[in-house]
Amino acid sequence: MRPAELDRVTVAEAADRYVELVRARTVTGALSPASAEVYARDVATLVELAGADVVLDDLTGADVDAILLAFARRPDGRTARARDGRAGAGGGAQAGAGQSPSSQARFRRSISALFKHATLAGWVQINPMTRSTVTARQRGGLRAERRALTREQAQGLIGAARELREAPPEHGKRRDQRTELRDAVIVLLLATVGPRVSELVRANVEDFFTNDGVRYWRIFGKGGRTRDVPLPGDVARVLQAYLEQEREPRRESDPRDGRDDGKALLLSWRGRRLARGDVQAVIDRVQRRVDPDRRRSVTPHGLRHTTATHLLADAVDMDAVRRVLGHSDLSTLGRYRDELPGELEVAMRSHPLLRDRPAP
């Protein structure tokens, strides 16, 4: 039950009150005008990303994750202007991808300060920043924490990927521009087989073969090691549908411009091999189809953690899990085994020493 003194202000109202307070501090010299304007700009961005009419107290840690990652992926206007200037002078600088790590860290500090004030002012019961799983990296910007999804979250994501097989085409897209089956294959392979993202984007169609009725993926991993991993039946069926309905028509109809992407498993709608950076966008797109109560931001490596965690939690042989993930020894599995809510309680309820007790 909410306390009587809780002030259910919207994000826009809270932002206006906070910015007014910040600017007032410049009068006393506690804050420079330039710093106050930086805070105001970041808070305005928060309003844009969170939604002006959303009640501030309704924001959860998952919402903060989405806001931080959405900001991180926004184009950096300063980088674009600098690039355009170099291009005009004959330079060929490559486009920057999203905000710089320093800008991401600054934005995080700005909204952290707002939520800290909101907690003291009675605008929120719990500071949602304390529930965020996005961590700050000194040289890598903001990233979703590489930890496993819970069973409910993983099943929600897998369910959304399965439904893509029957999804209607997006408005305005031609048949050869559809990517629903490809997106489903990406999420299902990451969540059930747990490959490294580099192994996934390097995969070729010829790496998948059938033996005795079972579909296998020959994965080329680190150190020149290969492993043959059997695919779950559902995953194999979606893969086959993608190969027949999306990939082959696209490969035949789109020009290569001299590039040899014809063998690649995962192609863009233009017929190019997908890059590592494209995979996160696919996961985020599928996540938007998941019920909000079962949704949590996750990276490709987080899905690798998810595979390891749930296979081990289900008492799958450790050496079999090691071979699925492509590790050289069992000790490495410790880094991929995350705790799950309630798993200790389940383990103690089914304690092996208390099974088949003799009748009293």
Residue of 188, 65, 151 lying closest to 338 (CA atoms): 151
> How far apart (Å, rounded) are the C-alpha atoms in residues 74 and 68?
10
301 is catalytic: yes
Q: Residue 2: what pLDDT? A: 46
> How far apart (Å, rounded) are the C-alpha atoms in residues 7 and 314?
45
Could you report how far apart the first and last alpha carbons of the chain are, in Å? 47
Catalytic residue, chosen from 304, 305, 310, 322, is 304
The pTM (predicted TM-score) of the whole model is 0.57
Average pLDDT by consecutive 10-residue portion of the chain (360 residues)? 66 93 87 88 93 90 87 72 46 54 87 92 89 63 67 92 79 67 95 92 94 93 88 93 78 46 83 87 92 88 88 81 82 63 60 61
Q: Residue 271: what pLDDT? A: 80
Domain 11-80+97-144 annotated CATH 1.10.10.60: no
Catalytic residue, chosen from 18, 39, 242, 336, is 336
173 is catalytic: no
> How far apart (Å, rounded) are the C-alpha atoms in residues 342 and 347?
9
Give the tokens for residue 179: 């990517």
DSSP of 156-220: HHHHHHHHGGGPPPPTT--GGG--HHHHHHHHHHHHHT---HHHHHH-BGGGEEEETTEEEEEEE
Tell me the residue ranges of DSSP E strands in the chain: 134-137, 141-144, 208-211, 214-220, 226-230
Catalytic residue, chosen from 23, 74, 237, 301, is 301
270 is catalytic: no
171 is catalytic: no
> How far apart (Å, rounded) are the C-alpha atoms in residues 157 and 291?
9
Catalytic residue, chosen from 196, 227, 294, 322, is 196
Residue of 348, 301, 278 lying closest to 149 (CA atoms): 301
Q: Is 304 helix (H, G, I), strand (E, B) or coil?
A: helix
Q: Which regions of the chain carry the CATH code 1.10.150.130? A: 11-80+97-144
Catalytic residue, chosen from 143, 178, 273, 327, is 327
DSSP of 62-82: HHHHHHHHHHHTS--HHHHHH
Domain 151-336 annotated CATH 1.10.443.10: yes
Catalytic residue, chosen from 8, 222, 256, 270, is 222
196 is catalytic: yes
